[in-house]
Amino acid sequence: MYNSFINRELSWLKFNQRVLEESLCPTNPCFEKFRFVSIFSSNLDEFFMIRVGSLHDRSLLKDVPVDNKTGLSATQQLDNIFAAVKPLYIEYEKCFSVVSKELSDKGIEYCDMSCLDDNEKSEIKKIFKKDIFPLLSPQIIDPTHPFPHLENKKIYIVADLELKGKNCFGIIPLNNVIPRLFFLETEHNKIKYTLAEHILQHFIKQIFKGYKIKTSSIIRVTRNADIAVADTFSDEDVDYRDYMKEILKKREKLSPVRLEITKGGEKLSDYLLSKLSLSKSQCYTTSAPFDLSYISILEDKLSSEMKNSLLYKPLVPSWPEEINQNASVIKQVDKQDFLLIYPYDSMKPYLNMLSEAASDPNVVSIKITLYRLSSSSQVIQHLCDAAERGKDVTVLVELKARFDEANNIHWSKRLSDAGCRVIYGIEGYKVHSKITLITRQTSDGIKYTVHIGTGNYNEKTARVYTDVSILTSRNEIAEDAVKFFHNLTISNLNGYYKKLLVAPHSFKTKIISLIRAEADKARNGKKGIIKLKMNSITDKEIMLELIAASQAGVKINMIVRGICCLCPGIENITDNITIISIVGRYLEHSRIYVFGEKRSRKMYIASADFMTRNTSGRVEIATPVLDIEIADKLEQMLDLEFKDNVKAHKLLPDKSYIKIHADDNSEEINSQIELYNL
């Protein structure tokens, strides 16, 4: 059965490879190609910090169970990861070089110090003496100066030194007060820049005066960031926000899991690996920059003319035509359900609804779950406004949303100060649900407005992630929403719901029953159909049910953007399963589950993927799509995405991915662009 499954970590690396391949796609604008290289790099950073970090910790324990899908131990998985990442660095370097050359031809020139002429070197020398040298804190490593703590993802210049016949090492941290980019004077509509680490390495003799420089390299260390947050937290004298702040501090001091070093630094790598207790397989050499997060600084430098030619043409989210902009959103939802499809639809209808609720004298309460938020969140502003106007506002803020902890700590304080009731979820479980409940006291009695979606309440990602959400006032959904928030506040995971599927209690059992129902149809000679769209699938129980359904004859079409542990197309096992991945301009993030067809169809949108962490380790919500027109629209969207032959890759039985291309007799379909046009 192992042959039917794919290792989670290796599957994720293949996804990130598909991201990198977008940097070579000829139809992508030049600067957008650079963005894909940058996304690949930041994705890989997080992968090492979390997934490799977690496996590293598990590899140190005794009697750790093997991966239940592939039979690999933690150590075997690490060995496979390190081997698989090596060729990715070669591709990364190639893509960075190709895109940099293309950008240079368009007037954006990246160069190290060797590429500068004498006048430019003189200009940089002045900058070094005046603006960089006074801020440096170089250090010698010898018997009286111990090896320092190398911070996670910080860039350093390391040198092999000699003084009076004695060897030692020198290290220079690139601290946060030194700008990462330095721009040189150029003619109009051109940009030329170099990186701070190249300047430091070039002037290393001036930094370590009197020493002989044998060799020097730029390095970066990645540390394990998968620090465990206590499953139980009962110290009543400590604020949970303060506890999380301490957790964030500890994250910076965990074990190293990766060393990156520039080419030519092979002699230094042995020394560094021994000091960091890393193996050679954890050392990666490249001539490309380790960190491309400076892309935002570079983008700000682009002229209007450059933006027109180097960036995607703006696709502005529109106000849905079904919703009247000049009327109350809440009162319109009283009459019918509405569908929002981001980023094609604007988030404004939802934000207007919140704003309206804050000022409506009939609104008595607003309840919401928050996982990831924009740094300048209008959602927070409206919630605070509602509380300050005397509304009962309950906000569940998930402080354990990885890498958003600091942002969420900040917002939770702001909400508390405004008078909101802030809670932090249920011990041992992340609350990943996306739901808002607005309650009104009217002359006709209590009325509810509910919003349930697949994506975060984040104005920034709503413009670049594909997500769907539903606005409804249906009593059967609203009553479940009331129960859901009640159960959250009393930490009850076992509540009963008529319509909503809520993990970890009822989500997976209902999904399995829906899969089995389609399998039973097929066994009885009827047509069994399942259509699924999600970010990732790792849950073995659900995958076994999909395999059984495939063997029963159910036709299963799946869109899985990222991790996919299920291998399709295996004869007599998964040969009725087809799986594609779409990687394009927008990040495919929506979760849509369809069982059956026509009017017997059952459809759900969900905050949860089919991952074990979602089905068993988080509080998630799926809502049925009860409006027939909305369900039809969502299925039409799925069918269009299944036809994508521009940005889609197909997963093959040998566990590789192949790009889908239009044949000579068919038109090209880029589903994201088609959906925007629709």
> Per residue in 267-301, is it b (16+ CB within 10 Å) or e — as a string?
ebbeebbebbebeeebbbbbebbbbbebbeebeee
Torsion of CA 666, 670, 675, 678, to 10 degrees: -50
User: Which 3 state secondary structure label does DSSP give 84?
Assistant: helix
Torsion of CA 30, 32, 84, 589, to 10 degrees: -160
Q: Which residues 6+ apart lie within 8 Å of 642 measured at CB?
A: 531, 557, 559, 580
Q: Could you say which DSSP state residue 51 is in?
A: I
Query: CA-to-CA distance for 261 and 243, rounded, in angstroms?
Result: 35
- Catalytic entry in 432, 451, 589, 649: 432
Q: Could you say which DSSP state residue 228 is in?
A: P
Q: Kindly state the tokens that stand for 326.
A: 């000049």
Query: CA-to-CA distance for 534 and 563, rounded, in angstroms?
Result: 10
Q: Kindly state the tokens that stand for 352.
A: 């207007």
Torsion of CA 430, 436, 442, 446, to 10 degrees: -40
Pairing of β 657-659 and β 501-503? unpaired
Q: Kindly state the tokens that stand for 133.
A: 């040298």
Q: Could you say which DSSP state residue 312 is in?
A: P
Helices (H), 22-71: 30-47, 53-59
Q: Which residues 6+ apart lie within 8 Å of 358 measured at CB?
A: 366, 382, 383, 385, 386, 389, 391
Enumerate the β-bridge partners of residue 422.
395
505 is catalytic: no
Q: Which residues 6+ apart lie within 8 Å of 374 measured at CB?
A: 458, 459, 460, 461
User: Which 3 state secondary structure label does DSSP give 541?
Assistant: helix
Q: What is the amino acid identity at position 674?
A: E
Q: What DSSP string runs through 103-139?
A: HHHTTEEE--GGGS-HHHHHHHHHHIIIIIGGG---E
CB atoms within 10 A of CB 313: 7
Query: CA-to-CA distance for 153 and 156, rounded, in angstroms?
Result: 9
Residues designated as active site: 432
